[in-house]
């Protein structure tokens, strides 16, 4: 029978994984098994926890190890005192010397919660903002087209013959339309800005903050009056 006689050099290894941070790694031996505790900080869901070891002070790492049990998948961070149990005897047999461990995590980022998106006031201002923006764009386009047409007809009017009176009436009509169109566009633009400001205010008032708890993680929802 293979004999497992590890001489453990207990080292806490912190590893940054973009939005995840593994900290405070604690190692102990229980018979032929190695127990590791770790804390996980950041925001996201860990899909898989990977364990590596080295016996040459980090020059080469072996792993990821296979004979693992405990908190090795589907871990939501932040959290503390997560446990990994490695059946060293079954996987590699006898180990002698100083051993160091490294933990890495594969994770998926949790989508940011936007509590203001469901707020009736936020939805109202978002809808009105879209309406005013659409109106502003249509009115601006109408103003540009009618003014361009009026200028074109004015050039024709300069050299017109019998149809001069008819062209003149068209010019007068267009000269009334495009200032009105530009006026509507200006009013719509102002209202768009107002609604955008109100929408932004709702977004600032409602906020979701992650917070660290001793036995896990949580969130706080705040509203600024």
Instruction: Write the DSSP symbol of residue 58.
Output: T
pLDDT tens digit string along 111-151?
555 655 666 777 787 888 888 888 888 888 888 888 888 88
Nearest CA-CA partner of 35 in 70, 73, 76:
70
Q: How confident is the model at residue 81 (pLDDT cuts 50, 70, 90)?
A: very high
**pLDDT value, residue 130:** 84
pLDDT tens digit string along 32-64?
888 899 888 877 778 888 899 888 888 888 889
**pLDDT value, residue 83:** 93
| Mean pLDDT value across the chain | 75
Q: How far apart are CA 157 and CA 169, in angstroms?
A: 10
Q: What distances in angstroms separate CA 50 from CA 4, 19, 80, 102, 181, one per listed residue?
A: 22, 16, 17, 8, 65
Q: How confident is the model at residue 110 (pLDDT cuts 50, 70, 90)?
A: low
pTM over 0.85: no
Q: Which of 67-71, 114-118, 217-221 is the most confident on average?
A: 67-71
Neighbours of 52 (CB within 10 A): 17
């Amino acid at each position: 029978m293979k004999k497992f006689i590890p001489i453990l050099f207990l080292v806490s290894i912190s590893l940054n994984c973009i939005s995840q941070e593994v900290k405070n790694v604690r190692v102990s031996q229980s018979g032929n098994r190695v127990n590791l505790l770790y804390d996980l900080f950041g925001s996201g869901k860990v899909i898989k926890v990977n364990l590596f070891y080295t016996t040459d002070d980090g020059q080469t790492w072996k792993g990821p190890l296979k004979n693992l049990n405990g908190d090795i998948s589907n871990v939501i961070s932040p959290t503390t005192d997560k446990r990994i149990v490695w059946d060293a005897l079954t996987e590699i047999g006898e180990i002698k010397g100083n051993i160091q461990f490294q933990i890495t995590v594969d994770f998926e980022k949790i989508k940011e919660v936007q509590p203001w998106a469901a707020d009736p006031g936020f939805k109202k201002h978002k809808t009105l903002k879209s309406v005013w923006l659409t109106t502003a764009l249509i009115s601006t386009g109408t103003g540009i087209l009618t003014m361009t047409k009026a200028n074109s007809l004015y050039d024709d009017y300069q050299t017109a013959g019998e149809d001069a009176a008819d062209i003149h009436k068209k010019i007068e009509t267009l000269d009334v339309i495009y200032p009105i169109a530009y006026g509507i566009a200006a009013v719509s633009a102002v209202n768009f800005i107002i609604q955008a400001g109100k929408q932004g205010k709702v977004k600032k008032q409602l906020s979701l903050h992650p917070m660290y708890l001793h036995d896990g993680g949580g969130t706080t929802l705040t509203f600024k009056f």
